[in-house]
Amino acid sequence: MAKKKTDCKSCDDLTARLEAMEQRLDKQEASAEHWRKRWGRMSDELGEANGKISLLEKENSELKVVVEKKDAQIKGLQKKLFAPSAESTLPSESSIEQWEEAPPKRPRGKQPGAKGHGRKIRDNLPVEEVVHDVTPEQKHCQSCGLEREPSPFFETSEEIHYTYKLVRIRHKRRKYKKACSCKSVPTFVTAPAPDKLVPKGLFSTGFWTYILLEKFWLQRPLSRICSSLALQGLEVSDGSLASSMKRLPKLFAPLYNSIRKRAREATHWQMDETHWRVFTDLMGKSNHKWWLWVTETDDTTLFTLDPSRSSNVPMRLLKDIEHGLLTCDRYSAYKPLEKQGILLSYCWSHVRRDYIKLRDGYPKLKRTANKWIEKIDSLFHCHREGSSSSEFGNELRNICELMNQDAQRVLKRKDVHPELRSTLESLLRHWNGLTLFLLHEKLPLDNNASERALRNPVVGRKNYYGNRAIWSGHLAAMLFSIFATLSKHKINHRQYMLDYLTACAQNRGSPPIDIEPFLPWNYSKNSLNQCASMVY
């Protein structure tokens, strides 16, 4: 509604100007309200975008860590496939020139140009003489034709010959008929039947010795053994051999139990485990993956097959033992043994492998990892030189103390790489077990003895994957233990198995009544072993 004009012209002008300013103010307020709303929407969108950016940045950083770990895993797997298996440290660039200037003389073995000892005479092998004669023309003089006189001298040379012969032994038991009329005695008397390892079995103890050595010591699949026998003229299926082998675990159980008992009586053990396949379904177990555990002592090697990798296996073996030393890796299954009084000595080789993984998998940590590898190498070198002397003992303590101080100093920093932090925390967490060798001089720094003991069964796992039945798995663990313990005592496996299986056959397919002479630590001191000693 327009305002009425007054008589004063100046007042009308002021009123018009005021109305125009009010209209402009209304428009500006409407525009401000519009931009205020728009700014609110943009502010909300900006906050949402910043939140998404922060989430993406966090996700990106996490993905970078995952990618870094995956790259490290890929490098580790590539190293397992293509790199040399030795863990020796390569020479640094600064030491290459020094190595080239060293005299070209091997540190071990016979040196080039040295006088030899001649061909070794193997007196332990039986000798078969073969006489070679000259041709009839050479027995006469080529000039006058007079016959030559034989000389008492020979030109002698030797060669090693191998032959293997499968034969059928036909046992003919002589019978005698009585020539009298006495009624209280039988009419015929027959010679006793030969001793059999398997009652009414087809194969002799020598044959079973060959099968068991081929399978459980040389790690050849049973099908390959049958193929080898077929080349020599004997067609036999692996199923036939397996059905007969099912009766053998009872023969070796007393030996295995004696080795287990002997291992429990030790004061220092080394333990490790590897996976094994048993292709039998078990209730509550979704796969066929079992575990082969090994326990090394000074004079025994014990293998245990179990479906689990839990702490129950070492705790069953060392049950009620309150004192002793166990060298192992940092696997948690061994740690419950500390509660019953057994001290755990952890392996420095596994710690060294942690830093090798850091060096090969994380380029940023290569320099730091190399420094730690050098420290651990110096620890091994000092221990190998002679830790029993006080001088080397003090040097070992100094090396360990410096490593402990360096680890604690690095962990105080906030910018430590997560993988390096995890490795150093593991080092300090197991520090008491890693330095236990400072209190016990005879303790080794590593767990390599048990890892070496697993090599032979691992070859079998690669050749025949495992076992088809539980009984065959236990038979494998028994014979792995027996053969490895025989090797510790330098006993000829073949001669020992012949003697033991012959004694079982004489006892009608059962273990010998007196098992003591056949225990490996007694067998080498026994008359049974006169021809069984073997030079390694």
- For residue 107, name the pLDDT band (cuts at 50, 70, 90): low
Asked whether the predicted pLDDT for residue 531 surpasses 50, the reply is no
Per the listing, tokens 């090797």 go with 487
How high is the pLDDT of residue 532? 38
How high is the pLDDT of residue 92? 45
Asked whether the predicted pLDDT for residue 251 surpasses 80, the reply is yes
Asked whether the predicted pLDDT for residue 87 surpasses 90, the reply is no
What digits encode the pLDDT tens for the residues 147-206? 888 888 888 888 888 887 899 999 999 998 988 888 888 888 999 888 888 888 889 999
Q: What does the pLDDT average to over 75-88?
A: 73
- 212: closest CA among 533, 506, 493, 521? 493
- 501: closest CA among 277, 267, 110, 212? 212
Query: 90 is written with which tokens?
Result: 């390569």
How high is the pLDDT of residue 5? 55
What is the rounded CA–CA span in Å between residue 245 and residue 302?
A: 21
Least confident of 237-241, 339-343, 526-530: 526-530
How high is the pLDDT of residue 14? 86
Least confident of 25-34, 115-124, 438-447: 115-124
Per the listing, tokens 């009298």 go with 180
Asked whether the predicted pLDDT for residue 90 surpasses 60, the reply is no
Query: 83 is written with which tokens?
Result: 């790199």
Asked whether the predicted pLDDT for residue 95 surpasses 60, the reply is no
H or E segment at 62? helix 9-82
How high is the pLDDT of residue 66? 86
- 295: closest CA among 443, 447, 432? 447
Domains of the chain and CATH, by start: 250-347+447-488 (3.30.420), 349-444 (no CATH)
Answer with the residue of higher pLDDT: 180 or 525.
Answer: 180
- Counting runs of H as helices and runs of E as strands, what totals does the chain give? 17, 8
Asked whether the predicted pLDDT for residue 145 surpasses 90, the reply is no
HEC sequence for 426-490: HHHHCHHHHCHHHCCCCCCCCCHHHHHHCHHHHHHHHHHCEECCHHHHHHHHHHHHHHHHHHHCC
Query: 434 is written with which tokens?
Result: 């890693």
Asked whether the predicted pLDDT for residue 388 surpasses 80, the reply is no
How high is the pLDDT of residue 262? 96
Query: pTM value?
Result: 0.79
Q: What does the pLDDT average to over 461-475?
A: 94
State residue 414 phi and psi, 5-degree precision: -90, -20
How high is the pLDDT of residue 97? 41
Q: What does the pLDDT average to over 283-300?
A: 94
How high is the pLDDT of residue 530? 44
Asked whether the predicted pLDDT for residue 504 surpasses 80, the reply is yes
Mean pLDDT, rounded, of the chain = 87
How high is the pLDDT of residue 390? 67
How high is the pLDDT of residue 4? 54
What digits encode the pLDDT tens for the residues 389-420? 667 788 999 999 999 999 999 999 999 999 99
Inter-residue contact 299 to 261 (CB < 8 Å): no
Asked whether the predicted pLDDT for residue 527 surpasses 80, the reply is no
How high is the pLDDT of residue 533? 37
Percent of residues, the chain, with pLDDT higher than 70: 90
- 120: closest CA among 177, 148, 158? 158
Query: 470 is written with which tokens?
Result: 């539980």
- For residue 476, name the pLDDT band (cuts at 50, 70, 90): very high
How high is the pLDDT of residue 91? 46
Inter-residue contact 188 to 175 (CB < 8 Å): yes
Query: Measured on CA atoms in the order 346, 458, 241, 489, is the torsion positive or negative?
Result: negative
What digits encode the pLDDT tens for the residues 199-244? 888 899 999 999 999 999 999 999 999 999 999 889 999 999 999 9
